A and B are shown apart, each in its own frame.
Chain A
Amino acid sequence: MQIPYTVTTRPDTGLHNAKLGIWLFLASEVMLFGSLFSAYILLRVAAVEWPHGSQLLNVPLAFINTVILIASSVTMVLSWASLKMKDFAKYRRYMGLTILCGFGFLIIKAFEYGAKFSHGIFPAEDLFYATYFTLTGLHGLHVIGGIIVNAYFWGPGSRLWNTEPERFTNRVEVAGLYWHFVDLVWIFLFPTLYLL
């Protein structure tokens, strides 16, 4: 029993199943992060005072992190393009870079968190730090999830390339969509938390 349109696209919708599936999932993620942004806006507007992000957070470090994440988005889409051009070795290089960038992001984040904790600053400190830790923490969890998925497709999952290259390419594309979304969220998080 085969489920249709797992690899080929359905003619009238032009999509294969996983592509539609991931976009639907991303829509739900927009609502998830959206609700937290909404919470942030409401709390900040109602607050008597709210510090400027740059006063309390490390902007240069976050700038580097932003560059890392954007770069990882490029390497991710290039890894998919490599598969489309049937270059498996190149795919592995770019996917490997994407994973490394992901780790890089997390390491810097861990350093940022550590710096705060060592000064005795925890989420309970005030609403600014509560929103900072919660928003970046949830984002960080999503980065970890993405790294795990990408690592699977770099490693054991890549065996599918040998038997069903088109299906594997689709999977990498779908994983890429998720990874770009994680980058997209950070593109909004960075100015909101650090620059305003």
Chain B
Amino acid sequence: MQHVAAATPAAAGAHHEEHAGFWRTYVFSLDHKVIGIQYMMTALLFLFLGFTLMMLMRWQIAYPTRGIPGEWFALLPAVIGLAAVAVGAYSKRRLTLLVGLLFGGIAWLVWWMVSDETLFPEGIMLPELYNSFGAMHGTIMIFLGVVPLAVGGFGNYVVPLQVGAPDMAFPKLNMMSYWSYFAGGVVMLTSFFVPGGAANSGWTSYPPLADIATTGQTVWLFGMVFLITSSLLGSVNFIVTIVQLRAKGLTFMRLPFFVWAQFVTSFLLLLAFPPLEGAAILQLMDRLAGTSFFLPSGLVISGQVLDVAGGGSPLLWQHLFWFLAHPEVYVLILPAMGIVAEIIANNTRKPLWGYRSLVYASIFLGFMSFIVWAHHMFMTGMGTVISTFFQTTTMIISIPSVIILSALIISLWGGSIRYTVPMLFAIAFLPMFGIGGLTGLPLGLAPTDIHLHDTYYVIGHFHYVVAPGTIFALFAGIYYWYPKVTGRMMSEALGKVHFWGSLICMNGIFFPMLIQGLAGVSRRLYDGGTQYAHAQNVLQWNEVMSISAWALALFQIPFILNFFWSMKKGKQVESDNPWGATTLEWQTPTPPPHGNFTSIPEVYRGPYEYSAPDAAKDYTPQNVP
């Protein structure tokens, strides 16, 4: 029988299907809330794994000639795992136990790898392994971490609630999306164990290198097929849910901005991913069937001419890849902007400034994102016509970005700001995304890009947007929606430690990258640039960045502890709407039951009626007549 308290995600699906049993309720559930949590937990684990890979790489970059103290890197996940296993076993909580075992698994993986003399001769990472870690760090963070958390996790849980729907339009498809993602993740993980190791041609998988790379690349391609399938099914579900299942009275211009952000994101995923699937098919044909889609004639490898038909084009891959990968970065940022918008409105106790501007800017941004991709290809020998075209569209696309950021910043003006932990992350997002966006400008202009392309400047730029940008927004979302899912608040004190530590450390990691990049240090160098004369003046930053990265890992401990501890021991909420929010997800029981709303909701007002002049309270929910 389901005797679980409101604190676990189980209750989300449990109330209705009392006879459904463990597997149907927690594992193969059709309830969007359970699926959302499945996405979230899986994605958080992958984020940790991707981060672990980078922490190992950062030792290599900072101390290229010193053996790695593997025990220390395995220690963190081992300690977390051990603690979770102990707590889980003692209090008989299966989820905690499972998470503990998974962290233990990561610890063991790290230990096993670092102890392997063929991978780490005398404790120093092989360049080939460094390349693998680099390619998989990117792949895991983007496709297995951030997007599944932002879209699969938050999108799945919150969107049906915010539109007043009982579930997603296609619950079975939703479940299949998750398992397709899971399968893709498993495939990606197994690639570490095949001969030659995981993919090592960058997450960008450029041919000809990717065409002739080790087996791991083929596994990567199959993994991507699973992930792309998951994405496509999910995006269809989101769009139909938002269009068709809106509650009565919920017009498009009354939707919370978070829903608009997910709506545009879903169109990006729907239309931009298929060309990458096409490209993956072509690369698989090259690797498995011996075709030459991406292999030019007369290609010489290790002194020998490659025995293939030839006539192919490596640039073809780049076009197809970036056609997806550019909209992909807007997939990374839009849900985050949505989360930040919700939290700012709620914690300033006033409506968002420029709601219409936000909506139209997002739509315009989504549209433009399809025609800027070749700004990733300025160094491929482009002529002036095509180069001008893409520089122009890229400059134009910065306009809606700035509109959105400005609207969010102006929204703070005159607000009664509550500095809750979600709000701290949301406020910090603004200048961090600002730095990320501004550093993108010289990359979008070809003359400056000539100097900066493929340097650490690029890495600094995009990490500013994704790390203290998107990931901060995702943290904010976790702290914000946690009480709705679990019925308990996360600890503010631990949250503040997590926030300040992460903010300082992230800047410690990514700001020096801008400096190194301007000096000309290339990316993807396994020794951090020690072999290059032009890098010598900026090499000292490597140690600073690495120490910041390891410190960042330590500052995640309060978050992980807080997350699990608060589930059972956090301060219980006194109402279903502890933040005093206006949007529909807060007008449900806590946690929402199967079917979400106890009575069919009807919407009478816009999404941010805070501090309305004649209202009794400083907020009026959307479903109040």
Chain A residues in the interface with B (C-beta under 8 A): 1-5, 10, 13, 15-17, 20-21, 24-25, 27-29, 31-36, 38-39, 42-43, 46-48, 122-127, 130, 133-134, 138
Q: Judging by beta carbons under 8 Å apart, are A21 and B270 in contact?
A: no
Please indicate the chain B residues that have their CB under 8 angstroms from the CB of A3 in the complex.
165-167, 169, 171, 245
Which residues of B (239-254) have their CB < 8 Å from a CB of A? 239-240, 243-245
- Is B109 in the interface zone, CB < 8 Å from A? no
Q: Judging by beta carbons under 8 Å apart, are A32 and B308 in contact?
A: no
Q: Judging by beta carbons under 8 Å apart, are B277 and A32 in contact?
A: yes
Please indicate the chain A residues that have their CB under 8 angstroms from the CB of B169 in the complex.
3, 17, 21
Please indicate the chain A residues that have their CB under 8 angstroms from the CB of B16 in the complex.
1
Across the interface, A29 reaches (CB within 8 A) one of B165, B167, B274, namely B274
Q: How far is the CA of A25 from the CA of B309 in the complex (A)?
A: 35
Q: For residue B241, which residue of chain A has the nearest CB?
A: A17
Given pairs A3-B167, A123-B285, 10 additional interface contacts (CB within 8 A): A4-B244, A5-B245, A21-B240, A28-B270, A31-B272, A126-B309, A127-B312, A130-B285, A134-B281, A138-B281
- Is B578 in the interface zone, CB < 8 Å from A? no
Task: Pick the most buried of A24, A43, A125: most chain B CB atoms within 10 A of its CB.
Answer: A24
Q: Which 10 A-B pairs have the closest CB atoms?
A: A124-B290, A35-B278, A35-B275, A32-B274, A1-B595, A130-B291, A31-B274, A126-B309, A123-B289, A127-B311
Q: Judging by beta carbons under 8 Å apart, are B278 and A15 in contact?
A: no
Please indicate the chain B residues that have their CB under 8 angstroms from the CB of A28 in the complex.
232, 235-236, 270-271, 273-274
What bracket does the count of chain B residues touching chain A fall in?
35 or more
Q: How far is the CA of A72 from the CA of B552 in the complex (A)?
A: 61
- Is B382 in the interface zone, CB < 8 Å from A? no
Q: Judging by beta carbons under 8 Å apart, are A43 and B289 in contact?
A: no
Main secondary structure of the interface of B (DSSP, over half): helix
Across the interface, B236 reaches (CB within 8 A) one of A21, A32, A47, A123, namely A21
- Given the contacts A2-B166, A42-B313, A46-B313, A124 and B289 also touching, CB distance less than 8 Å: yes
Q: Judging by beta carbons under 8 Å apart, are B320 and A39 in contact?
A: yes
Q: For residue B251, which residue of chain A has the nearest CB?
A: A12
Across the interface, A126 reaches (CB within 8 A) one of B237, B273, B311, B594, namely B311
Q: List 11 A-B contacts (CB under 8 A).
A: A3-B167, A21-B240, A28-B235, A28-B236, A35-B274, A43-B312, A47-B311, A123-B290, A126-B309, A127-B291, A134-B293
Q: Judging by beta carbons under 8 Å apart, are A24 and B236 in contact?
A: yes
Task: Pick the most buried of B239, B274, B289, B323: most chain A CB atoms within 10 A of its CB.
Answer: B274
Q: Judging by beta carbons under 8 Å apart, are B275 and A31 in contact?
A: yes
Q: How far is the CA of A144 from the CA of B290 in the complex (A)?
A: 25
Contact string against A for B residues 156-189, beta-carbon threshold 8 Å, 1 for contact and 0 otherwise: 0000000001110111000000000000000000
Q: How far is the CA of A27 from the CA of B235 in the complex (A)?
A: 12
Task: Pick the most buried of B291, B313, B595: most chain A CB atoms within 10 A of its CB.
Answer: B291
Across the interface, B240 reaches (CB within 8 A) one of A17, A33, A35, A38, namely A17
Nearest CB in chain B: distance from A85 CB, A: 28
- Is B279 in the interface zone, CB < 8 Å from A? yes
Please indicate the chain B residues that have their CB under 8 angstroms from the CB of A15 in the complex.
244
Chain B residues in the interface with A (C-beta under 8 A): 16, 165-167, 169-171, 232, 235-237, 239-240, 243-245, 270-275, 277-279, 281-282, 285, 289-293, 308-309, 311-313, 316, 319-320, 323, 594-595
Nearest CB in chain B: distance from A184 CB, A: 16
Please indicate the chain B residues that have their CB under 8 angstroms from the CB of A27 in the complex.
270-271
Nearest CB in chain B: distance from A21 CB, A: 5
Q: Judging by beta carbons under 8 Å apart, are B309 and A39 in contact?
A: no
Please indicate the chain A residues that have their CB under 8 angstroms from the CB of B312 in the complex.
43, 127
Nearest CB in chain B: distance from A136 CB, A: 13
Please indicate the chain B residues that have their CB under 8 angstroms from the CB of A39 in the complex.
278-279, 282, 293, 316, 320
Q: For residue B237, which residue of chain A has the nearest CB?
A: A21
Q: How far is the CA of A124 from the CA of B275 in the complex (A)?
A: 22
Q: For residue A31, which residue of chain B has the nearest CB?
A: B274
Nearest CB in chain B: distance from A93 CB, A: 30
Nearest CB in chain B: distance from A36 CB, A: 5
Q: Judging by beta carbons under 8 Å apart, are A1 and B166 in contact?
A: yes
Q: Judging by beta carbons under 8 Å apart, are A24 and B316 in contact?
A: no
Q: Judging by beta carbons under 8 Å apart, are B320 and A130 in contact?
A: no
Nearest CB in chain B: distance from A25 CB, A: 6
Q: How far is the CA of A81 from the CA of B308 in the complex (A)?
A: 51
Q: Judging by beta carbons under 8 Å apart, are A130 and B273 in contact?
A: no
Nearest CB in chain B: distance from A115 CB, A: 18
Nearest CB in chain B: distance from A183 CB, A: 19
Q: How far is the CA of A13 from the CA of B292 in the complex (A)?
A: 46
Q: How far is the CA of A122 from the CA of B288 in the complex (A)?
A: 12
Q: For residue B16, which residue of chain A has the nearest CB?
A: A1
Q: Judging by beta carbons under 8 Å apart, are B291 and A123 in contact?
A: yes
Q: How far is the CA of A46 from the CA of B232 in the complex (A)?
A: 32
Nearest CB in chain B: distance from A193 CB, A: 15
Q: Judging by beta carbons under 8 Å apart, are B281 and A24 in contact?
A: no
Nearest CB in chain B: distance from A148 CB, A: 16
Q: How far is the CA of A16 from the CA of B272 in the complex (A)?
A: 25
Nearest CB in chain A: distance from B321 CB, A: 10
Q: How far is the CA of A122 from the CA of B308 in the complex (A)?
A: 12
Task: Pick the most buried of B166, B237, B240: most chain A CB atoms within 10 A of its CB.
Answer: B240
Nearest CB in chain B: distance from A26 CB, A: 10
- Given the contacts A27-B270, A35-B278, A43 and B313 also touching, CB distance less than 8 Å: yes
Q: Judging by beta carbons under 8 Å apart, are B278 and A13 in contact?
A: no
Please indicate the chain B residues that have their CB under 8 angstroms from the CB of A4 in the complex.
166, 244-245
Q: Judging by beta carbons under 8 Å apart, are B239 and A24 in contact?
A: yes
Please indicate the chain B residues that have their CB under 8 angstroms from the CB of A46 in the complex.
311, 313
Q: For residue B271, which residue of chain A has the nearest CB?
A: A31
Q: How far is the CA of A69 from the CA of B274 in the complex (A)?
A: 24
Q: Judging by beta carbons under 8 Å apart, are B316 and A42 in contact?
A: yes
Q: For residue B167, which residue of chain A has the nearest CB?
A: A3
Q: Judging by beta carbons under 8 Å apart, are A32 and B290 in contact?
A: no
Nearest CB in chain A: distance from B351 CB, A: 25
Q: Judging by beta carbons under 8 Å apart, are A43 and B311 in contact?
A: yes
Q: Judging by beta carbons under 8 Å apart, are B171 and A32 in contact?
A: no
